[in-house]
Structure 1
Amino acid sequence: MGIRDEFGKDLDTLGKAAAGGLQTVSATVTDVTEDGTVHLLMGGAELYDVACTDAYRNRKAGDTVAVRRGVVPVVLWRLGDDPAEADTARTIEVAQDAAQDLIAVSAYTWGTGAPAGAGWQQVTQLWTKKDGAGKGVLYAQLAAAGDTSPDAPATRPPKTVTIAPTDAGAWRGGRPLAGDEPSQGDWTGRGNRRGGWFYGSRISNACAGKTVAKMTVAFTRKRGAGINGKVRMQLYLHNHASPPSGQLNLGDGPEGLLSLAVGAKGTATLPAAWRNALASGSARGLAIYGTGQSQYAAFTGGKLTITFST
């Protein structure tokens, strides 16, 4: 039986019985997993991988939600203000981003003679270039201007880009661990691990000639590695274009930008100094390194999203 079927059965029971029926409590979302389930803090207890109805959309940590109690609890919906205003802002943002790919011309005609009607101006030379977003721009040079030029459109920043790692891995004792996801800490007493994500020259190439306004990176906490509760990532920079055959050397860090429970996904905003180092190529990628069982965890992901101002 699906979640919606269970929910419908509960509602039907509530309508038929004066006592009992559907009982809900409030809880706080602590993490959202890559599977679409959520981790909750409910009545002082931590619950993991709680399923959600379709009514609970745009899930994020910090949400207060209504939960149907039972042997298998289910998140029913978000509590609080109507999210329509936030959804509208996001819709506008997406539309503006999509509009950067459009080139608007009110009319485009041609013929063998001069155009009919007033207001036409003859172009003596036509100039073109790319703008910051890589789109074509035209400028018409006139022998004499019979009308004022339209205002030039506002300069658009280059489009946001997302860069996936070319490779990733884990190291212990100065040697790579074949097939392992990036990990930190030490669960078995055999030595602390460090992990890395590698991008070649993709980051600096994407940032060449542009001004970076923001750089974020997305990770998911791997299941079956360490405790279920939140573990803070100990993030570093590194200067390797690809996985080294020996030790993974660490750069600036650590920065504790993200704390995730098992299966949870999250996004961290990199400090200004880090994004500048990655954009210039003085750093090449990201690494993690922790000590002991309390910092032991493994992570996947590593996609970088770069937002530009100019």
Structure 2
Amino acid sequence: MGIREQLGQDLERTGSTSGLQTVTGQVTDVTDEGTVHLLIGGVQFYDVLCTDAYRNRAAGDTVAVRRGAVPVVLWRLGDDPAAADTARTIEVAQDAAQDLIAISAYTWGTAAPPGTGWQQVTQLFTKKDGAGKGVLYAQLGTAGDTSPEAPGTRPPKPVTISPTDAGTWRRGRPDDYADSPTQGDWTGRGDRRGAWFYGTRIADACQGKTVATMKVAFTRKRGAGTNGKVRQRLFLHGYTAAPGGQLNLGDGPEALLSLAVGAKGTATLPSAWRTALASGSARGLAISGHGRPEYAAFTGGQITITFTAT
């Protein structure tokens, strides 16, 4: 019997069909398949389907679940999301506006411009701003009017760095039996450690910029370990490419994410780690755990970097 069918039977036993047809649950994880893991009445259920009305799914949401042979999350319960949607719309609009050029009109001719208020430019200067956009400055012989206020310096746009390679190591050598980075041990043959490699791309992306945040996204792989949450034990490493021998670990561990099977998560790297990665003193991320309680495999490893204005 599948997980969803079992959930349906369990929920059916909570009341008669003539009673309340929905129950309340709390989302514990959002998965790579768009389903969610739920906690209902103190019991954990996995891979519950959702309607299209349930958008922007996130762990911690309180939701209404329709009972039945195939239970479905109907919608999120709570405050009106209008304020959050408005803030997100403004954020997207501001990001798009960075690509606009703030000149209301641009014309030319062989004669002097008609009308009043024009000022003659003696020299024109240009440069790139922090976001790589062109900036113009006009030097005047005589200023007949005050200059418009210059817009604030814009930060460079965020960049997302994907791994160039990934792998798993066991007993001091690469483990070809694991096709995704893995930590811990399930069979008693020895603990595994996994890693994601980025070459020099992280440091290259940060060169000449001031890093504000680094966030990394992972997905807990299905079919590896128990369904319940496993805490990822994250380390730094200093390799630009996968080593042929043992994978040595750097700073860590940091327990930034705890994910159930199939769940997605994003974590903010500590400030010391982002400094090390931006400078090139560290090159990538690794995981390492001990035994069955810490056994899990993870995919992803995309690092999103944001910058401050300089």
TM-score normalized with structure 2 length: 0.92
Other-structure match for 1:297: 296
Confirm or deny that 1:130 pairs with 2:128: yes
Match of 1:113 in 2: 111
* 1:24 corresponding residue in structure 2: 22
Cα deviation for residue 34 of structure 1 reads 1.1
Q: Match for residue 197 of structure 2?
A: 198
Of 34, 37, 40, the residue aligned with 2:35 is 37
Residue in 2 that maps onto 1:63: 61
How many Å separate the matches in 1 of 2:104 and 2:156?
24
Partner amino acid, structure 1, of 2:106? Y
| Superposition pairs of residues 217-228 of structure 1, within 5 angstroms | 217-228=216-227
SS in 1 for 2:60: coil
Superposed displacement of residue 248, structure 1: 1.1
Partner SS for 1:92:
helix
Counterpart Cα distance in 2 of 1:200 and 1:76: 44
Measured against aligned partners, the alpha-carbon deviations of 1:22-65 in whole angstroms (never above 9, x if no partner) come to 61110000000011000000011110000001111110000000
Shift of 1:147: 1.3
Q: Following TM superposition, by how much is the alpha carbon of 1:21 offset from its aligned partner in structure 2, in angstroms?
A: 6.5
Q: Which residue does the alignment assign to 1:142?
A: 140
SS of the residue aligned with 2:89? Answer: helix
Corresponding residue for residue 229 of structure 1: 228
Q: Report the equivalent of 2:74.
A: 76
Q: Distance in 2 between matches of 1:163 and 1:99?
A: 24
CA RMSD of the aligned region, Å?
1.1
Cα deviation code 1:154-187 (max 9, x no counterpart)? 1111111111111111111111123620010000
- Say whether 1:286 aligns with 2:285: yes
Structure 1 gaps of 5+ residues are 1-18
- Residue 11 of structure 2 is matched in structure 1 by none
- Residue aligned with 1:152, SS: coil
2-structure distance, mates of 1:206, 1:305: 11
What displacement does 1:142 show?
A: 1.2
Matched, 1:306 2:279: no
Q: Give the corresponding residue for 1:3.
A: none
Cα deviation for residue 72 of structure 1 reads 2.1
Decide whether the 8 Å contact of 1:22 with 1:68 is kept in 2.
no
The equivalences for 1:246-265 within 5 A come to 246-265=245-264
2:156 — aligned with what? 158
Distance 2:82 2:146 in 1: 42
Shift of 1:104: 2.6
Cα distance in structure 2, aligned partners of 1:94 and 1:33: 25
Distance (whole Å) between structure 1 residues aligned to residue 284 and residue 32 of structure 2: 23
Q: Paired residue for 1:99, among 97, 114, 121?
A: 97
Residue identity matched to 1:78: R
Whether the aligned pair in 2 keeps the contact of 1:37 and 1:52 (CA below 8 Å) is: yes
1:230 & 1:222 partners in 2: Cα distance?
12
SS of alignment partner, residue 277 of structure 2: helix
The C-alpha deviation readout for 1:114-164, integer Å capped at 9, x for no partner, is: 111111111111111110111100011111211111111111111111111
What's the CA shift string for 1:77-111, capped at 9, x where partnerless? 10011111111111111111111122231000000
Query: Partner of 2:4 in structure 1?
Result: none
Q: How many residues align?
A: 292
The one-letter amino acid of 1:305's match is: T
* CA–CA separation in structure 2 for the residues paired with 1:98 and 1:117: 34
In 2: Cα distance, 1:297 partner to 1:80 partner: 33
Runs of at least 5 residues in structure 2 that lack an aligned partner in the other structure: 1-16
The match for 1:209 is 208
Q: Secondary structure at 1:257's aligned position in 2?
A: coil
